[in-house]
Amino acid sequence: MVDVGGAVVGDTVLAGTSGIRAPAEVFNSIFVAFLGLGTLVGVVVISYTLYNAYKYRYREDEDPAPDVDRPEVGELPEGGGKGKKLFLSFGISAFIVLSLVIWTYASLLYVEGKPTEVQQNGGDVMTVEVDGFRFGWQFTYPNGAQASTLRVPADTVINLSVTSQDVFHNFGIPELRAKADAIPGQTTNAWFVADEPGTYQANCYEICGEGHSGMTADVVVMNGSAFEEWYAATEPANASASDSTAGNGTEAAVSAPGALVPARAGGVP
């Protein structure tokens, strides 16, 4: 695996010491490739157009105009003989487009399958359940603890299992390039790896009512030991309300929307 040393490109935080290529990095390279190729194609097409405009320009000193074979509207270009130029440009375009489609699709498969693969290989994946509600987010940790701020360890694969209590929402952390629909009755996954401790912001990306624009949450990336210490002190929000088999706290979160607000004070700082 390529270690990019925790490079920060623009506002994108790339994975560092975890050695796992985060979606932020994958999406960044797709963006750069499309931007680069788009620019290259643009430069070639515009230069060739300008070159021909200059070559076939009107010149007063040539009267009558020399007999050149200018392309007519509707005529297939036959440059290079027997449409060689046409064949070449179609061929190159098809090659570029197909390569991009295949490469992008492979990248998406990587992003979709990576957390499962890491888990199967015995790597660390922390799954946090994200519940959207009008108007806020509730995070449920593997131990059942709930909070309105998402705290995660750095350099760890964080798998978000996103759902909604009421209407459609969309959970996204722009800097970490993590984004998933929050749909009632369904779960959607997104994951990220952050190597730069700090505070990021999660927003709702689906108009959901008057409080939509304020539907934000802090995402605090902590270094491993600080996170462990914090996590060890958390308690399941519903510890007294249901038996410990609830484990990840899903049932309580889904069946008791009324518990959302108290959960903010549910023993999680």
Binding site for Cu ion (CB under 5 A): 169, 204, 208, 215
Q: Which is nearer to Cu ion, 131 or 155 (CB)?
A: 131
Cα 115 → chain centroid: 14
Cα 12 → chain centroid: 10
Name the token pair of 125. 């994946």
Q: Which is nearer to Cu ion, 135 or 230 (CB)?
A: 135
Residues 139/129, Cβ–Cβ less than 8 Å: yes
Q: DSSP code of 189?
A: E
Could you tell me the smallest distance in angstroms from the CB atom of residue 219 to Cu ion? 16
Could you tell me the smallest distance in angstroms from the CB atom of residue 213 to Cu ion? 9
Q: DSSP code of 184?
A: B
Who's near 118: CB < 8 A, 6+ residues apart?
Answer: 20, 124, 125, 157
Could you tell me the smallest distance in angstroms from the CB atom of residue 136 to Cu ion? 9
Could you tell me the smallest distance in angstroms from the CB atom of residue 140 to Cu ion? 18
Q: Which is nearer to Cu ion, 118 or 217 (CB)?
A: 217
Could you tell me the smallest distance in angstroms from the CB atom of residue 212 to Cu ion? 5
Could you tell me the smallest distance in angstroms from the CB atom of residue 166 to Cu ion? 9
Helices 23-55 and 84-120, axial angle in degrees (round to 10):
170
Q: Which is nearer to Cu ion, 159 or 164 (CB)?
A: 164
Which residue in the block uniquely carries the two structure tokens 């990587």? 110
Residues 209/165, Cβ–Cβ less than 8 Å: no
Q: Which is nearer to Cu ion, 137 or 227 (CB)?
A: 137
Three-state DSSP class for residue 258: helix
Q: Which is nearer to Cu ion, 21 or 169 (CB)?
A: 169
